[in-house]
Structure 1
């Protein structure tokens, strides 16, 4: 195997692509008892940027409500640029869908916590996420949708 045919995987850069913090009801929020309800939405994605380079993103939206009011809203997209070459397609997709997000998540977690604290709120340490399980779930859902679409195509129409 020639040197340039060997599988290569290297993290080139980690960066925040998008960050937003809103605290629409401050300072009123700070005068109330703090019993927040936290809602978290999480997505990850990947795209080919150039030959051998992929951008992987982990995006989170966190809404904290205290009573009937929104205490804060955080949106953040943590990204990484990965150099990936000579990886078979069946291994590439799990790398982009699970392994790379697992690398990025601790950075996202720290950035979200820092933003929330700088907004005047108590620390918010997001629980670890199992991106391997999330990736497997997405693969199963995609296979199920394909099977359902194939069944619909086979049904005769009148």
Structure 2
């Protein structure tokens, strides 16, 4: 098990290995996403947050997942096209991952171990969100029903700390 968020890496949708250390000093929002989910319109809110705060140090990281109701059945090209065409997503998107079970991606194994949920650490559905401060410490977990705009006060507070 990695000792911290910055020790981990993930494969981008374009096939490049990206170390989480690349986001050191930034406030990071990690989200497991799906393109055929009732929460899929949250892509729009996530993109709004990202565009509004990226110059202040926010980065949103999207991780497509097909573990809930087969709601992300497509391949890389379909995911990329859907995100861009339907929601104008410009934040980093990663390869499709598992978030639960024996093949859960290390980023999600780590985040779940640091921030358990109401029903234990297991992720219940798509669009579960994890907020990480600029030092790489996971600070808050949000349920899939929590709309991205509701995260703004938490993000603003963490960004203010990085500015001081």
Higher strand share: 1
- Rg larger in structure: 1
The answer to whether TM tops 0.5 is no
Q: TM-score, normalised by structure 2?
A: 0.24
Q: TM-score, normalised by structure 1?
A: 0.25
Higher relative contact order structure (alpha carbons within 8 Å, sequence separation ≥ 6): 2
